[in-house]
Amino acid sequence: MIESQINKLSKKRIQLSTFKMKFSTKALISLTVTSLLTSTTNAFTQSPYTKYTQHVSQTRRHMALDMPDMPDMPATPPEASNTDVPALQSRGGAPVNVRYSDFIKMVDGDKVEKVTFSSDGTKLLGVNADGVRLKIDSLPNDPGLLNQLTEHKVDVTVLPNNDSEGGFAELAQSLIFPAVLFAGLFFLSRNAGGGGMGGMGGMGGMGNPMGFGKSKAQVQMVPDTGVNFEDVAGCDGAKLELAEVVDFLKKPEAYSANGCRIPRGVILDGPPGTGKTLLAKAVAGEAGVPFIAIAASEFVEMFVGVGASRVRDIFAQAKKNAPCIIFIDEIDAVGRQRGAGFAGGNDEREQTINQLLTEMDGFNGNPGIITIAATNRVDVLDQALLRPGRFDRKITVDLPDFKGRTRILGVHARGKPLEPDVDLEAIARRTPGFSGAQLENLMNEAAISAARQDKLSVGWDQIDGAVDRLMVGLERKGGTLGQLQFTKELVAYHEAGHAVVGALMPDYDQVQKITIIPRSNGAGGLTFFAPQESRLESGMYSRQYLESQLAVALGGRLAEEIIYGEENVTTGASSDLQNVANIAKRMIKQWGMSDKVGWIALDTPQQGGPFMGRSMGQRGTTWGGKIMGEVDAEIERVVNNSYLTAKTILTDNRDLLDHLANVLVEQEVVSAEEFQMMLVEFSPKVVEYNVIGENRNRDKLPFQAIMADP
């Protein structure tokens, strides 16, 4: 009987070839044998699902008979199972899962155009007359399905079996070399990353060799930096220029009508901590366009060409999202002058900067992209990078002035409960030369000090202590309790000498605070002076001020000499003497403040060593012995006469010196107000300014017994 059924099915298979059915031999035999093995009486055994459906239908009829109150259900005609075709709706073109019974109804209703069977005959994928794709993940054992599909002229396809002899061996041989290569790269990446869990990195890292050339920067479509221009204070000029850039992005048509071209690049230059990165965040928050932020050091890798690839990738992302802003922080890490090294260039860095130059203003250009870069070493950048067309604007973000510091302190005082005695303007006057980052740190340190003392508000004492801590270090525990009385008195006289000379020298800075409390930086005591704002901002110092500075620096050593004698002076003035030598040398050799030497610069200021190789290859000017001898004599003359000036002041005002030293020993700290009251009480006279004399006055200096003859 089995052989006869196989013969019948084979004949049917030959007839079905006229309908272009693509059944494989294995799939057909598999269906036939399965049907014969599962039933010995009838190949068209009814499926369990059909039995279950009939059982449920009978149960529903019985329930209707047992409940007389229910209305009679209308009888369903026998043809309803064939005409009631379910409607299918596809979401996004994805195949729709259908039940097998609904699929049979669709076939009987000629709603199926094409059917594809899997190679093992267990899954089905079809297309109905409306073009909707349908699928059945688990086909029941229905040998009559093939006949039913043939009768309704459905295009039937069976996927071929991909297994072939020798295929696996050939595949394995083709994968051996790539597997060995990737295994070697993985091993090297783990060793370079230190092994352990850190061996596999993210995209672009050592753990993913295929991502070397990809930039790790993410595009922020709607930047949420939490910073706008209102949160940036102390740099009004920079804010104004960057506000124009933001306006360019918001209203480009207003500028295009006048023939304007949007700046392609803006470079922010200034000392560390002045708010360059904060300004870039404010631009991102104000502009409302996609923003990409990356550090220039991320372009530099150990493999040549990786940095250039990342530059291309980041600009490609920006072009897809134009208009867009790219912010490169610390661009001097990759944008330094090419060919400036003593032993040759850096191929990786130079390829990176070449690619950056091309992307910013190359043959194709970068319409709609504004590049903002920040650096505190604009002097080392390559000139090709700074030219118009790449970085059209150079914005200097300088240290804030008095008003700027006051506004910055107001910004960072938000959220901190300040006591009524806190005056932000007084803090700003005491912190000349502080950057925005330093002022933020100052307010934070004051708040930490208040919390350490279990206070709920920040007072003047905490802020004053924070200023001292940032400038000269933390106070040592115990203060002067562990010092001998002689040591305390010696330090008090030393600091009193600085203060008295500084107060009585013409046109010098005002004394702000005097203390003999030791500090963590090694200082036994300190005298604070408040520099004039105009002098500090301009950077111009007069000859009178410099000569006064020499006398003030020597005041501490002179006080020790006057009180304790020449034989008992200490090393406490070591840093003062270094400052004296530096100032006197620069006055004569750099600033032309000597009539004998003349108005020439015999020395150049030290600019650091970014291009040490270039400076080593350049020959400096060599001066003769005669003029250098005159330089030494002039330096000696300036220092000697400054020493005599300070000694005269302290000798003539010995009462004020003793009183100030005694007060320091008692209370350790003297404020500016207390010192001004002492000056009123003792009525000292300010020294009249006169140019330092021409004589060197060696005979009036101490240590005459051990000095060499002139």
The alpha carbon dihedral of 348, 353, 359, 363 has a sign of negative
Rounded to an integer, what distance in angstroms lies between the CA atom of residue 445 and that of residue 469? Answer: 9
Distance of CA 390 to the CA centre of its chain: 22
What does the CA dihedral 499, 501, 503, 507 come to, rounded to 10 degrees? -130
User: What SS3 string covers 29-85?
Assistant: HHHHHHHHHHCCCCCCCCCHHHHHHHHHHHHHHHHHHHCCCCCCCCCCCCCHHHHCC
What is the dihedral sign for C-alpha 106, 110, 114, 120?
positive
What letter does residue 519 receive in the DSSP assignment? B
Tokens of 496: 């009193």
- The residue with tokens 């599962």 is 38
Bridge partners, residue 526, by sequence: 515
Look at residues 541, 502, 543, 544 and name the one whose alpha carbon lies nearest to residue 646: 502
Judged by DSSP in three states, 118 sits in coil
Catalytic residue among 495, 547, 560, 561: 495
Nearest residue to 581 (alpha-carbon basis) of 633, 636, 631: 636
Tokens 């409390």 sit on residue? 517
Q: Is 592 exposed, middle or buried (0-12, 13-18, 19+ CB in 10 A)?
A: middle
Pair 360, 325: CB distance under 8 Å: no
Q: Is 169 helix (H, G, I), strand (E, B) or coil?
A: helix
- The token pair at 349 is 């860095």
At residue 11, the 3 state secondary structure works out as helix
Give the integer Cα–Cα distance in Å for 673 and 512: 8
Residue 323 amino acid letter = P
Active-site residue 495, yes or no?
A: yes
Coil, helix or strand at residue 527: strand
Assess contact for 643 and 695: CB atoms under 8 A. no
Antiparallel, parallel or unpaired: β 510-515 and 324-329: unpaired
**Radius of gyration of the chain measured on its C-alpha atoms:** 45
Q: Where are the beta strands (DSSP E) in 652-709?
A: 669-671
Judge residue 47's burial from the number of C-beta atoms within 10 Å of its C-beta, 0-12 exposed, 13-18 middle, 19 or more buried. Answer: middle
Tokens of 311: 């530059």
What type of residue is 85?
A: V
- Is the peptide bond prior to 323 cis by the omega test (within 30 degrees of 0)? yes
Catalytic annotation, residues: 495
